[in-house]
Amino acid sequence: MIVILILRSTQGIAQLLVGPTAGINYNWMSFSKTADQKDMYSIAPVIGYHAGAHVSFRVQKRFFLHTSLIYSTKGMVMKAKLNEYDTEDDVDKISMRLNYLEMPIVYTVYFKGSISGKSFKYSIGVGPNISYWLGGKGVLENQDVLEFGYGPMDYKVDFNTDPFPGEDGKMIVQRANRLQLGLNVATSFMFEPAPQRELVVTIRYELGHSYQSRESKGLFRPTSYYEQPLNLRNQGIRISLAYMIDLQIEKRKKGKSTNDPKKRRY
């Protein structure tokens, strides 16, 4: 939708670039500062990926607005901290690989630089991140699943199933916060391999604002009585590569004004 709106509003755009983008994610999740679980669990990051389409347009001389529509994977590995009475088999351990459809929006200011006589551009920017939680999967390890004879249990995220009596191989989330918001802080480096072409390398830090769920936990019944905390926010660092094509909007506008019969000189 935002791409259509941008294309329809090209009358006010001086420069418009479009192209594919892809890259890797280094993601983890975090509890709020006041959450009791913060002292009960340790959280490790995971590596994922993202891919989709990118749009960039100039709104002023040195200022650009960037947005993408991407498929993205995020997640974490969370493990309960041992106390003096626990053994390794008693400890709950869960890995999560979650899938999102995302729209990062970053407003940037551009600068010029040079290395060994070769010029390039770089930018810094900030803006919101809009994510829609599509689903996911993971692995649960704890004493319950060992007693049921499963060993580590593979599961899929299910948003709609009634948790009672439950179903094997599912993590049921009844009141998921599927539309999630966050904040992007980004820096990019632009190189021109050919006229009207740009290679853009972007490093972006995402700070999630929305929880996975404020009202429910992930349930694994009847396989396990473990309940996965979901008062967690996404965080991560992303590195993206985009290949952009300049649609030369400014030149087209000049051509139209030249060919306008009312402005043509005879």
Query: What are the pLDDT digits (tens) for 198-210?
Result: 999 999 999 998 9
Mean per-residue pLDDT over the chain, rounded:
84
Mean of pLDDT values over 238-262: 72
Higher pLDDT: 198 or 264? It is: 198
Q: What six digits make up the tokens of 12?
A: 């006010």
Question: Following CA atoms 188, 67, 25, 130 in sequence, which dihedral angle do they give, to the nearest 10 degrees?
Answer: 140
Taking the C-alpha atoms of residue 62 and residue 14, their distance in angstroms, rounded to an integer, is 11
* pLDDT in the model for residue 95: 94
**Res 19 pLDDT > 80:** yes
User: Is 99 strand, coil or helix?
Assistant: strand
In the numeric block, the tokens 């990019």 are attached to 188
SS3 string, 29-79, reads: EEECCCCHHHHCEEEECEEEEEEEEEEEEECCCCEEEEEEEEEEEEEEEEE
Question: Could you report the per-residue pLDDT of 182-194, keeping only the tens digit for each?
Answer: 999 999 999 888 8
Kindly report the pTM of this predicted structure.
Answer: 0.82
Neighbours of 252 (CB within 10 A): 12
Find out whether 43 and 30 touch, Cβ atoms under 8 Å: yes
Closest CA to 66 of 209, 264, 240: 240
Q: What's residue 3's pLDDT?
A: 47
pLDDT over 70 (residue 181): yes
Whole-number Å distance between alpha carbons of 152 and 79: 14
pLDDT tops 50 at residue 18: yes
The tens digit of pLDDT for each residue in 53-76 reads: 999 988 888 899 999 999 999 999
Residue 134 has what pLDDT? 97
